[in-house]
A and B are shown apart, each in its own frame.
Chain A
């Protein structure tokens, strides 16, 4: 199943223990509690379920949903 922006949004909110409505897509996720453990957990989930091949550093370098979308193969 292909990853979508909405799915990314939902997964990120889930990892942060927040409601998706409270997580803007264009803001720094570090301010919302994203940390390396959570990034790794998300990455593992997306690799397993969606065959994503981005690296940890790619995501960690620019931690925002919009910035992640192209890295995760979402147009």
Chain B
């Protein structure tokens, strides 16, 4: 394609003069940006020219007047008209100029600068005009500063150069008494006309296609701050210079690569950005003057554009190759340079703070103005280059002998001065090193850290050398037992053992194990539920000299067999025969039938050294096979010695053992207290999942020290009696990221205890870093500093150290590293690599964790680099799930990932292609994998979505609830397109079709509020949440907006069609106490697409009609409502809470009328008599209930007005209901409570499907067994791991829908 050489036909200058000229596309971008924040001065651009010589201000003023008369762009006023913004060209404008003699000031330059800054901070009124101003400062007898400030809408950087040169030319002529040459500028009308011609041209369409194709995959913008923001009203700037020598070397380097120095500079910035953002795919923004080959070369105005330059930066490539990529990339970009950057972002949907197309802007201004004012040379300095969205690196080549001037301009919403200065210092340092290095070297040679930063992160932050004696894990325990044999060592239920007793029992078993071949370097499996015997067995294995291999008793048999065969232990200790599968052939030692009385109770002899293995723990393996991590005595001994030093335990301490032995946190729980003379309190099996029982145990046993996985800590702190654990003095959190909110809640709940955040993979003896949480801390909780004899490295893609603040992969080195993976030398070699920073021969472990150093020398955890995930503290390799999926018959391809839904719930989801039934695949996985590794849903796909370069596009995988129209039609009309886009945006799905229903796409009521707000914002249309229930698709909603039909109150009717389509017998879901059935919206998406779902809602939400006198009357009314939808059975009924009582009552009424009820599902609903003895809630409780319905805890709301105010403030969907309805709900809640207590159940003939919210509850007297007299058939129960309110969450709907599916077949129709 060839860019036309000649400009379009010139329109007459007078054209449109009366109505004003439209804005060019470039100007429009500026106009809308300014209109967003009319008082922002961000679009003021300014320059300061230092003129070294005499200057005549009056002549200068004449020159300015003349240039202003020549430059159209300076003489415009811009106004908003019904047809859009217009610029009116004024015939005459007197240039605002003030002259200041500041020679008397102590610092004349500073005085001038202060004035300029103040002027620059004043917003410019484009409608009032003029859009510029000048000031002259006399800072010395023969030294002047010329300040000119111009709004960016009318002028760009190249425009400045035209103005300055012309001003200098005119001034010089006038001083010489000559007539200046004729006007050399082109007209603004030409510029606007040329722009209009382009926009209507095929070239424009072709350019748009080019860009849209190039960025079809919408690469994530590389952001040095790790996030984006909207431009602020101001910007931060740090300035530095690249020395003339280095600048010269840069020119030579570039010339040697057949490139220009700006090309090389852009390549350097790409390298820096790639490393600083930990990304290989880098998109930089290049401001371009956009005038080559155009009339605009002679027009001062706003023409410049930003072009995205996409580069691939890998450590293996050379700098020469990167520069070549830049040269070719710019060449390609330049061919499409007229297409506006703003348009491209809009086309790609990448506007706004969270989205962006490019990272840093690199703005190279390679020319000096060369302006001369009657013999006096002028040196220009930019003061403001316009709004800064993220970071702009401005580079000026000014002929002042100071090399290249480099300004880093940052958005203060993203950078502080220190951060900006660090980026600049590192960039300059990198640039210096690049110019001094052979460009044929791989980029991996270069680090972005400065030498000082490197010393800091490699040496200073890792000063952890500490002498430790060469002991083992077990030695110090035996020494402690000898020293204090009568102290309490272990408490379990009613049993307590002294150190002497425990030691003796373990010794006898150890001797037995030695007889079976156990000894140093050997392995003994232990599969015993938490008990005294478990502790004895672990100690015995260690005492025999062998390493122990914990096998979780509740793992699937297939997995246990695999681990036994893989590890080949000499024997396996179990509590009783049959605990472990026998097909592995491992000799079993069953403790319940074992007579050890013949063995000596003294410590057995063994030739054990610190380098022998102490334990082997299996973790998830990415290739589908779990892998055994071998940890030596020396490694774990170091860890426990450090822990005792950092958090000393004494004889009075009691440490809780509640972590399953197959999770490495249990290692310190078991052995640290026994080494320190403290007591070990062993929790009964199951207690670790039950916050209430845990709190009771901790309180009753005066536990002082314990561990929590953060998600469990959060649950524990919310438990009713957690604050009673006053003996607790230290709590350790590890296993997953510790949210700050949890740490804050901890400090509030247990003010007397310290919370320590620990971090470490199984591959490095439990934990390698630590951080004490401050009660008033803020921001992410760091994983902290390295423990004794341990080094942490944060490395970039080239394995170069990352400076503080820059994310990279975390590597670990030091004494605590595991030996490797059992029988897996290749895998060991891959993950445990040579440590280039430590002593020769040292190893480092590649964690796969993303992390960064803080300036204070602590590490922050940022996520994973690979497909390993953690769900509730359990480590999962997605590869293992994928391998398990692929192994099923009928599965061709598989992929697994963790999705977070709108409510912040994380779920493991599997995707498969092939003919297999996804539900069956999931069921089979449940047999093969531990519970935490079974996907919450398996989704069948025809094909996997791919990125343009053929990789699996994980982001495009549908949400598991996806019921959208597979072959979606394209939206028709602007409004439908807008609404469809907003659906996709709010739901976070890649694609929504105009006919996809909101709730089928995973919409929740919270998301509904957001969607309605967005539609109001973008379409300016009134809309209520109710409209969304009535018109749940973009097409229907758009039609409703078009007809401007106000939302009816249908969402409050007795029958609420959550999904009206479908041929199967509908499912009716009865409202809970509040009277609304919206809570069932989440269910519809999870049912078969042809399964209709209707909510049944209380009467009286819309009007003031009387509430029903009793439940029987209410149910009879519902029977009539049901029959209006479906005159005869079979019927399918479901209800949660009070809704369950209603469903049961309606079912009985229907059966009594001779109808068939084929499904009655009760969701944590309990019959009337269970409540009868308890007092009914009054209005006060009703207010609490209403707040709960909206997801709030009641704080200080006293009256219903307070409650309404809270809901409105929080934007709750309930607030959208209007005061009348809310007020009615406050009536309806206690009314239900009263009716329910008076109700008498009759008998339902048939089975009931029951769901129990199995988490502990305050009303522990509630039992589903109470239904027995009211149900003739079976009560088939399903426990769900949640509380009563949590039942209505997304996560539980999956499980509920899966159970209901076989009951909701197509047969009866």
Listed in ascending order, the chain A residues whose CB lies under 8 Å from chain B are 17, 27-28, 30-41, 57, 60-64, 67
Task: Kindly supply a per-residue 1/0 record for chain B positions 1246-1260, scoring 1 wherever the CB is within 8 Å of any chain A CB and 0 otherwise.
Answer: 000000000000000
Q: Is the CB of B260 within 8 A of A30?
A: no
Which listed residue, A28, A32, A41, A63, touches B260 by the CB 8 Å rule? A41
Determine the distance from Cα of A55 to Cα of B517 in the docked complex, in whole angstroms. Answer: 93
Check B327–A30 contact: CB distance below 8 A: no
| A40 to B366 CA separation, bound complex (whole angstroms) | 9
Q: Determine the residue in chain A with the shortest Cβ distance to B364.
A: A37
* Mask of B1-34 contacts with A, CB within 8 angstroms, 1/0: 1111110000000000000000000000000000
Complex CA–CA separation, A28 to B334 (angstroms): 12
A-B contact pairs, 21 of them (CB 8 A): A17-B259, A17-B327, A28-B3, A28-B293, A30-B293, A30-B335, A33-B331, A35-B334, A36-B292, A37-B261, A38-B260, A40-B366, A41-B260, A57-B297, A60-B291, A60-B297, A61-B293, A61-B294, A61-B295, A63-B292, A64-B5
A28 to B330, CA, bound (A): 15
* Bound complex: CA A63 to CA B295 (Å): 12
Among B2, B262, B291, the residue within 8 A (CB) of A28 is B2
- B297→A31 contact, CB < 8 A: no
Contacts A27-B2, A57-B297, A62-B5 known; A35 to B258 CB distance under 8 Å? no
Given A17-B258, A17-B327, A28-B3, residue A35 in contact with residue B292 (CB < 8 A): yes
Contacting pair A35 B330 (CB below 8 A): yes
Q: Which chain A residues lie closer than 8 Å to B335 at the CB level? A: 30-31
Closest chain-B Cβ to A13's Cβ sits at a distance in Å of 11
Specify the main secondary structure of chain B where it touches its partner: loop
Please, which residues of chain A bring their CB within 8 A of the CB of B261?
Answer: 37
* Cross-chain contact of B289 among A33, A36, A64 (Cβ < 8 A): A36
The 9 closest A-B pairs by CB, nearest first: A17-B258, A33-B331, A37-B260, A57-B297, A37-B366, A28-B3, A61-B297, A60-B292, A28-B2
B327 touches A28 (CB 8 A): no
Chain B residue at minimum C-beta to C-beta distance from A32: B331
Distance, CA A30 to CA B3, complexed state (A): 8
Of B2, B259, B331, B367, the residue contacting A40 (CB under 8 A) is B367
How far apart sit A66 and B1149, CA to CA, in the bound complex (Å)?
95
B1264 interface hit (Cβ, 8 Å):
no
Distance, CA A64 to CA B2, complexed state (A): 11
From B6, B297, B298, B330, name the one whose CB has the most chain A CB atoms within 10 angstroms.
B297
Interface pair B293/A60, CB less than 8 Å apart: yes
Q: For the complex formed, measure the closest distance between the CB of A28 and the CB atoms of chain B, giving whole angstroms.
A: 5
Chain A, Cβ-Cβ closest to B1: A31
Most B-side CB within 10 Å, residue of A32, A37, A40, A64: A37
A36 CB contacts on chain B under 8 angstroms: 289, 292, 366-367
With a cutoff of 8 Å between Cβ atoms, the chain A residues found around residue B1 in the complex are: 31
Contacts of A32 in B (CB 8 A): 331
Q: Per-residue CB proximity of B278-308 to A under 8 Å, as 1/0?
A: 0000000000010111110110000000000
B298: chain A residues at CB < 8 Å are 57, 61
Chain B residues with CB under 8 Å of A40's CB are: 366-367
Contact with A along B200-225 (1 / 0, CB 8 A): 00000000000000000000000000
Min CB–CB distance A25 → chain B (angstroms): 13
Closest residue of A by beta carbon distance from B298: A57
- Given A28-B5, A30-B3, A33-B327, A62 contacting B293 (CB threshold 8 A): yes
Q: How far is the CA of A36 from the CA of B289 in the complex (A)?
A: 9
Asked whether A30 lies within 8 Å of B292 as measured between CB atoms, the reply is: yes
* Cα-based distance from A12 to B335 in the complex (angstroms): 18
The answer to whether B3 and A31 touch across the interface, beta carbons within 8 angstroms, is yes
Distance between A26 CB and nearest chain B CB, rounded to angstroms = 10
Q: Chain A contacts of B327 at CB under 8 A?
A: 17, 33
- Cβ of B492 to closest chain A Cβ, rounded Å: 78
For the complex, give the distance between the alpha carbons of A22 and B5 in Å: 19
| A72, chain B: closest CB distance, angstroms | 17
Expressed in whole angstroms, the Cα–Cα distance for A36 and B297 within the complex equals 11
Of chain A, the residue at the smallest CB distance from B254 is A37
Report the minimum CB–CB distance from B629 to chain A (whole Å). 54
Task: Name the distance in Å between B336's Cβ and chain A's nearest Cβ.
Answer: 11
Q: Are B2 and A31 in contact (CB under 8 A)?
A: yes
List residues of chain B with CB within 8 A of the CB of A37.
260-262, 366
Q: Is the CB of A34 within 8 A of B292?
A: yes
Q: Which chain B residue lies CB-closest to A64?
A: B5
Known contacts A31-B334, A34-B292, A38-B260; 18 additional CB pairs below 8 A are A17-B258, A17-B259, A27-B2, A28-B293, A31-B1, A31-B3, A31-B331, A31-B335, A33-B330, A33-B334, A35-B292, A36-B366, A37-B262, A41-B260, A60-B293, A61-B294, A61-B297, A64-B5
The answer for the CA separation of A41 and B1 in the assembled complex, in Å, is 26
Expressed in whole angstroms, the Cα–Cα distance for A60 and B1 within the complex equals: 19
Q: How far is the CB of A71 from chain B (nearest CB, A)?
A: 13
- Cβ contacts under 8 Å, B331 to chain A: 31-33
What B residues does A31 contact at CB under 8 A? 1-3, 331, 334-335
A14 and B327 CA atoms in complex are apart in Å by: 14
For the complex, give the distance between the alpha carbons of A19 and B732 in Å: 68
What is the chain B residue whose CB lies nearest that of A62?
B5
Q: Which of A17, A27, A31, A39 has the most CB of B within 10 A?
A: A31
Interface string of B598-627 (1 = CB under 8 A from A): 000000000000000000000000000000
Measured CB to CB, the closest approach of chain A to B291, in angstroms, equals 7
Of all chain A residues, the one with the shortest Cβ separation from B289 is A36
B6: nearest residue on chain A (CB-CB)?
A62
Contact mask B318-335 → A, CB, 8 Å, 1/0?
000000000110110011
A68 CA to B367 CA, complexed, in Å: 21
Q: Which positions 1195-1252 of chain B face chain A at CB distance < 8 Å?
A: none
* A15 CB to nearest chain B CB (Å): 9
Chain B, 1159-1204, CB within 8 A of any chain A CB? none
**Which single residue of chain B is at the shortest CB-CB distance from A58?**
B297
CB-CB under 8 A from A63, the residues of chain B are 5, 292-293
- What's the Cα separation between A30 and B293 when bound, in Å? 8
Report the Cα distance A61→B4, complex, angstroms: 11
In the complex, what distance in Å separates the CA atom of A67 from the CA atom of B2? 15
Complex Cα–Cα for A63 and B25 (A): 24
B3–A35 contact, CB under 8 A? Answer: no
Question: Separation in Å of the A70 CB from the closest CB of chain B?
Answer: 14
The distance in angstroms between the C-alpha atoms of A60 and B260, with both chains bound, is 17
Measured in the bound complex, the distance between the Cα atoms of B1123 and A32 in whole Å is 76
**A58 CA / B80 CA spacing, docked (Å):** 37
Chain A residue with minimal CB distance to B337? Answer: A30
Smallest distance from the beta carbon of A37 to chain B beta carbons, Å? 4
Tell me the minimal C-beta distance from B955 to chain A in angstroms.
35
Question: Taking the nearest CB of chain A, how far is it from the CB of B156, in angstroms?
Answer: 14
- Whole-angstrom CA separation of A37 from B395 in the bound complex: 13
Q: How far is A34 from B291 in the complex, measured between Cα atoms in Å?
A: 12
Tell me the complex Cα distance, A9–B291, Å.
23
> For residue B297, which residues in chain A have a CB less than 8 angstroms away from its CB?
57, 60-61
- A28 to B292: give the CA distance in the assembly, Å: 10
Per-residue contact bits, chain B 250-265, to A (CB 8 Å; 1 contact, 0 not) = 0000000011111000
Closest Cβ–Cβ distance, residue B335 to chain A (whole Å): 6
CA distance A47 to B292 in the complex (A): 20
Looking across the interface, which residue of chain A has its beta carbon closest to that of B158?
A36
Task: Return chain B residues, CB-CB under 8 Å to A30.
Answer: 3, 292-293, 334-335
In the bound complex, how far is the Cα of B812 from the Cα of A47, in angstroms?
61
A63 vs B298: C-alpha distance in the bound complex, in angstroms? 15
In the complex, which residues of chain A have a beta carbon less than 8 angstroms from the beta carbon of B289? 36
Docked pose: A62 CA to B295 CA in angstroms: 9
For the complex formed, measure the closest distance between the CB of A8 and the CB atoms of chain B, giving whole angstroms: 17
Whose C-beta in chain B lies nearest to the C-beta of A57? B297
Residues of chain A with a CB closer than 8 A to B3's CB: 28, 30-31
Quick one: closest B residue to A39, CB to CB?
Answer: B292
Complex: A33 Cα to B4 Cα, angstroms: 15
| Chain A residues with CB under 8 A of B258 | 17
Distance A60 CA – B158 CA, assembled complex (angstroms) = 13
Contacting residues, chain B, for A57 (C-beta < 8 A): 297-298
Minimum CB–CB distance for B24 against chain A, Å: 19
Per the bound structure, the CA–CA distance linking A37 and B328 in Å amounts to: 15
